[in-house]
Structure 1
Amino acid sequence: MDDLPHILVVDDDRRIRQLLQTYLLENDFRVSVAASAAEAREKMRGFMFDLLVLDIMMPGESGLEFTQSLRGDGNRVPVLMLSALADSSDRIAGLEKGSDDYLPKPFEPRELLLRIRALLRRQEVQGRSRAEVQFGPFVFHVQRGELRKGSEPVRLTTREKDFLRTLAARAGSPVPRGELAPEGSEEGARSVDVQINRLRQKIEDDPSNPVYLQTVRGAGYVLHVD
C-alpha cells in the first residue's frame, strides 16, 4: 500500500471529496482529502504527496492562490485543477499560476483517472532522467554521489551524499526534515540541521543566506537546481 501513489484531493464540496476518494481508492491510489487550502497545507507538512487534485473555487484561499503559493515556495508537486469555470481564460489563468493540467466540471471520472496517470508518468520520467543535477557552478552525479565545482571535486561525507541524493530526487520541492533523519528519530531530526549547515559550507558562497539549499519554513529543505 505504501508504494501506491498518494493523492491529495482538495475541494470544499464534501460530496465530491467522498466520490473522488472512493473512485481513486478503487483504482489503486492512496488518497487523502482536505476541505480547504489551509487544511491541505497542514496535511502537506506531514506527508509527501505525488499529486494534488485541486478545486479552484473555494472559500478563503482559492485554488489559484494556493497553487501560486506552492510554486512560490519551490514546491513542484503536480497539480490537476478542477473548476466549474470552463472558459478558456480560466484555464489559462490556472496554467499561469503553475497548475499542470485543468479539467472543467462536470467531468467523466475515467478522464480524470487518465489525466492523473499521465501526470504521474511524466513525473516519473523526469525523475529517472535526472542522472545529474546542476546548481550554479556545481554538478552532482546522483548515482555516484560525486559533487564537482567546475572541474574540481568537492569532498562529501557519506551522510552528505545521502542528503544530496534525497534532495536532488525532489529538486524544487521541499523535503521534510523527518525524511532526512535516520529512522525518523527525534535525535536524528535535530541532527539534520547540523548536517544541512555543514553541506551549505561546501556549496554556498554565503551559508547564512543560502541560494541553492534553502529552508522552507514548516516544510523542510529544498534544493534549487538549474
Structure 2
Amino acid sequence: MDASSPNRSLADHVSRGDRFDPGKDSRSSPPSALRGGGFLIVDDDAAFRAVLSTFLEQHNLPSTFAANRAEVRKQMNSASPSLIILDIKLGQEDGLDILREIRSSSDVPVIIMTGHRRDEIDRVVGLELGADDYLTKPFSLHELLARIRAILRRQEIGRMARIKDPERGGYRFLGWQLERRARRLIDPTGRLVPLTKGEYSLLLAFLASPQRPLSREQLLQLTRLHEDVYDRSIDVQVLRLRRKLEADASAPQVIVTERGVGYVFAHPVEPY
C-alpha cells in the first residue's frame, strides 16, 4: 500500500468511527505476560503501523516494527517479542511464509491480519500454520485490544501452570528445543542430543537467564554441583556443553565468556 496516502490507508485498515484519539487517557497496567518484551507489528504500510503503535502505546503495550521478512528475522534475533501482529499481504512477500518461518522456531503468539473478507483460505491456512487469532481489515482497534488481552490472559494461565509444575514445558532457542519433563535436548534437525545430569542442569540455568551474565558462583548454586565445589568444575561443564551446542567450540557464539564475570547465554530464549 502507498504509505504516502495515510487517509486512504487508514480507511483500508481501521473501521470508521474507531479512529484512535491520542488525547484520550486510556492508560492501564500492562498484563504481566507482556513484561518480558514488546509487540512486533509486521505491516508494509508505515501510516497504519504508526496509528496502531500509538494506540498500543497508550495502553502500555510497547511495540516495534517490521515491513518484510528480513526485518522480522532481525527483530526475532535481537529480541523476544511477547506477541506479533502480522499482515499476511506484504506487497511482494507472502506473510504466510513469514508465519511458517516464525513457527519453525518460536511459539510467540501471532495475530494475523487479512485484507479482504473473502480471503477465507488465507485465514484458514494461517490458523493451521499456528496463528492464534485473526482480524479482517478494516477492523476495530478496540476489538484488536480485546483479542490481544485474551491471548495474553491465556499465556499467563499457562505460565502459572508451569510454575505449579516446574517440569512442564521447556525452552526453544536457535532452532534447538529442551524438553523439561523428558529432559531431552533436540537439535535443529530433530536429532536427540544426550546430556549428562550436570550438562542438563547447567543448560537449564543458562536458558532460565538468557543474555544475562552469570558468575561461576551463581552457576554452582543454580546447578547444585556441590560434589566438586571448585570454580573450574563449571568451566569443564561449559566446555562440554559448548561441544554439543556450538558449531565451533573453540570460537563460541552461544555460551560466551564474559571476561571478569563468568558466562552468558548470548541469544534470546523462548519458554513454552
Moved more, 111-120 or 85-94: 85-94
- Structure 1: runs of 5+ lacking an equivalent: 141-152, 167-178, 184-190, 209-214
Q: Report what 1:172 is aligned to.
A: none
Of 154, 163, 167, 2:197 maps to 154
2:126 is the counterpart of 1:82: no
2:145 is the counterpart of 1:103: no
Deviation, structure 1 residue 80: 0.4
Q: Provide, for residues 131-179 of structure 1, a one-character-per-residue CA deviation record: whole Å limited to 9, x for no partner.
A: 2136398349xxxxxxxxxxxx93468744412535xxxxxxxxxxxx3
| 1:56 partner letter | I
Q: Report what 2:182 is aligned to.
A: 138
Q: Report what 1:15 is aligned to.
A: 47
Partners of 2:40 and 2:66 within 8 A in 1: yes
Q: Report what 1:165 is aligned to.
A: 208
Q: Provide, for residues 43-71 of structure 1, a one-character-per-residue CA deviation record: whole Å limited to 9, x for no partner.
A: 22211100001101002332111010111
Q: Percent identity?
A: 33
Partners of 2:37 and 2:80 within 8 A in 1: no
Q: Report what 2:145 is aligned to.
A: 113
Q: CA RMSD in A?
A: 3.7
2:83 is the counterpart of 1:39: no
- Structure 2: runs of 5+ lacking an equivalent: 1-29, 170-178, 185-195, 215-233, 248-253, 255-265
Query: Could you say if the C-alpha distance between residues 93 and 40 of structure 1 is closer, same or farther in structure 2, counting changes exceeding 3 Å?
Result: same
Structure 1 distance, partners of 2:117, 2:200, is 53
Partners of 1:4 and 1:28 within 8 A in 2: no
Q: Provide, for residues 75-104 of structure 1, a one-character-per-residue CA deviation record: whole Å limited to 9, x for no partner.
A: 111100111132332221111122111100
Query: Could you say if the C-alpha distance between residues 91 and 75 of structure 1 is closer, same or farther in structure 2, counting changes exceeding 3 Å?
Result: same
* Secondary structure, counterpart of 1:133 in structure 2: coil
| 2:38 partner letter | H
Equivalent residues in 2 for 1:47-66 (5 A)? 47-66=79-98
| 1:111 partner letter | E
* Secondary structure, counterpart of 2:90 in structure 1: coil
Of 241, 255, 264, 1:198 maps to 241
Deviation, structure 1 residue 117: 1.1
Partners of 2:36 and 2:82 within 8 A in 1: no
Scaled by the length of structure 1, the TM-score of the pair is 0.65
Structure 2 distance, partners of 1:106, 1:196, is 54
Q: Report what 2:8 is aligned to.
A: none
**Larger-Rg structure:** 2
Partners of 2:38 and 2:64 within 8 A in 1: yes
| 1:63 partner letter | G
Q: Provide, for residues 20-65 of structure 1, a one-character-per-residue CA deviation record: whole Å limited to 9, x for no partner.
A: 0110001111111122222122122211100001101002332111
Query: Could you say if the C-alpha distance between residues 108 and 162 of structure 1 is closer, same or farther in structure 2, counting changes exceeding 3 Å?
Result: same
Q: Report what 2:259 is aligned to.
A: none
Query: Could you say if the C-alpha distance between residues 197 and 17 of structure 1 is closer, same or farther in structure 2, counting changes exceeding 3 Å?
Result: farther
Scaled by the length of structure 2, the TM-score of the pair is 0.55
Query: Could you say if the C-alpha distance between residues 139 and 40 of structure 1 is closer, same or farther in structure 2, counting changes exceeding 3 Å?
Result: closer
Runs of 4+ in 1 over 6 A off after TM superposition: 221-225
* Secondary structure, counterpart of 1:85 in structure 2: coil
Query: Could you say if the C-alpha distance between residues 222 and 15 of structure 1 is closer, same or farther in structure 2, counting changes exceeding 3 Å?
Result: closer
Partners of 2:77 and 2:268 within 8 A in 1: no
